[in-house]
Structure 1
Amino acid sequence: MSMVNSSPPVSAPFLSVTELTQLIRQTLEAHIDTVWVVGEISNFRVPSSGHFYFILKDEGAQIAAVMFKGANRGLAFTPHDGLRVLVRGHISLYEPRGNLQLYVDFMEPMGVGSIQLALEQLKQRLQAEGLFAAERKRPLPSLPRCIGIVTALSGAAIRDILTVLQRRFPYVRVVVRPVRVQGKEAPLEIVAALEDLQQLPDIDVVIVGRGGGSKEDLWAFNDERVARAISGCRVPVVSAVGHEIDLTIADLAADVRAPTPTAAATLVVPELAEVLNRIEQQRRLLVTAFTRVVELYRQRLKQLAQRLRDPRHTVENLRLRLDELAERAQLAMARRLEYGRQRLRALADRLTALSPLAVLDRGYAIVKHRPSGQIIRDARGLAAGDIVEMQFARGRAAALVRETEDP
């Protein structure tokens, strides 16, 4: 049986793990330049560093990928799991773990442009926040005192709006806050214009818009900052961007969407002739109602006049009634006094009958012991030699008791 010597030759080079991974990385970077890869995103995550980490996969394989914050900052959309994308980058090895990794510096969704995807994602996010909810929409004032307009001074939109306002209701005040309506600076200018207009106390409604153009020309009205400024405006906002087929985020966030700037002017003010006609109708209704009320009170006054008597007859009747009541009161008082006198005499007679003086008048006397003054009711209360005082009906007398006799 032969033994196989598995020991390396003495002259063979030895590599550390670090050296091996460095060799692989250098080989990959030297032989594989920039690559374009199509795949589906999975396990997408964004740590606090702001870098994008994800897996790019298809039916047969997958590879780890990273898109650093400096590269992903310019993306108009937010990647997510399941999104099929085209990416550009280079292959390298992450040496600390020995992982093969794709370093991405460009990304675009497949089948739909990144700008359109970003727009759809913004719509979904604002919709979830309730920014487009119907209950947030405010009605337009029926007769505004002052209208604010946010648009470009050089465009056809401002001419169309002012022409319609002048024709329909020439007495309304208008404040135009000029802005750029396309380009990178346009969103911030629109936001600032809305802030300025809602500070004016007389502003009742604001029109925000521009004339038609390409999707790129209208893109300022798809900006999230513009949508939030419209939604947070103190007064109702009418969005009038482009033509009827153009639908922007601003249209969804506004209280009312007008298909064109001309239509917006038509929505915010009524026809003067219609207003005057309504006023005349209301005047006629008021005159009719007032006439009816006056006639009603005239009839009631007439009825009251018919029911009203001559006050002199009333006073005379009251005087006779008062005399009658006074006479009856005097009679009642006399009878009451006579009854009182009779009862008083009866009570006096009864008191007289019960008085001790009346008993004395009948020959009796009251005997009192001296000096105590105690009334003697029984002879046994006396003894020979006691002095007593006797009270008669008229006068008193003192006596010496010589003897007593028991009953």
Structure 2
Amino acid sequence: MTNPNIFTVSRLNSEVRLLLENEMGIVWLIGEISNFSAPVSGHWYLTLKDSRAQVKCAMFRGNNRNVSFKPKNGNQVLVKARLSLYEPRGDYQLIIESMQPEGDGRLQQEFEKLKMNLAAEGLFSQSSKQDLPEHPKRVGIITSKTGAALYDILDVLKRRDPSLPVVIYPTMVQGEEASIQIAQAIGRANERDECDVLIVGRGGGSLEDLWCFNNEIVARTIAASQIPIISAVGHEVDVTIADFVADMRAPTPSAAAELVSRDNSNKEQAFAAKKARLNSAIRHFLLKQGKHTQLLTHRLERNHPSYQLQKQSQQLDDLDTRLRQSINKFIKIRSQDIERKHHQLQLHSPIKRLGEQKLHLQRSEQKLLDAMDRSLLTTRHQLAMAAEKLETVSPLATLKRGYSISHSKSGTTISSIKNVEVGEVIKTQVEDGIIESKVIDIN
């Protein structure tokens, strides 16, 4: 038998939702928009915040059609909403029924003020910007050592130009101390002067997350840098003061890595084209499915209570987000697998093996030459010793001491008076020549 005092998670969330909706009713709220998203379903999801707290919000398509402006991150707004609970995740949220502009957000106002001041000083002028080196010899990266931006940059560099040296200057890229650390990292890179281009940035986020790149200290440090700087902050839609001051702005950290590297493989270009076609096909499929979902939603609106429609639509947006994330993860994994196989193919390339065999042949040839030199040296030494021994018994040495050798007309060596006759012509060899003489007498 089930104990009625023991709740399941589903029952608990349902009871809490009813309690919030029935007890609180309608509330009016002023806050600053952040993390705004508008998926293909037509619903809006956002966070309202002030200096000390924040709350998640949803505004469904039937209500947001009456909003007279397009909400953006940083907008200060006045909303009419009812308190509720998103049961699948247990998140307490506001269901917004109406929204009115309450002026730009505080951060957005500070952004525009600093932008105008720096522009008036000429820090955004094109004439003050440095040209990027055509073929960088070493690239410096100023970002968080644990952030996704660093790994995205390194992945692109490894794929496009693996021989390009990289120096990482780790720093915080979010929070109150981040601006000082970023400026110090830029200064340290200039002092060490070991790179000829710097990439400064991080991944995407809200205006508040990216605020350290809107700091005046960072802007002036970038402007004063003697090394060309590429600003790679957030996604393509994110714009910061650093983008205006830097010598070059890249829409993403990966794009910055492509700017400073050379593509060493046509296969990668072909893969990128296939990836783009796949993304296009996926977007077309999702758009088609989104339209189909909208049609089903219209039918449900005529047959179901409003709350059920809203809850199912929000779940659909959750699934859509997870599907996109899964697709991107799958594409990334496949890309990494292709890169690994390409690397293995390069490792087993016959060109590399031919180079190794050529080097082995050169080494063997050098060893043979060395052995021949040693053998020749030994033979020369032995020849010199033999010549020295021969010199000691040579008759030429005897001739040098004043002795001579006589030969008869027939060429026989004369060693006795018996070998010659009176009147015979003989030849006598001395050190420097031969003397012919005639025997007159024999004693």
TM-score by length of structure 1 reads 0.40
Q: Higher helix fraction: Structure 1 or Structure 2? A: 2
- Larger C-alpha radius of gyration, 1 or 2? 1
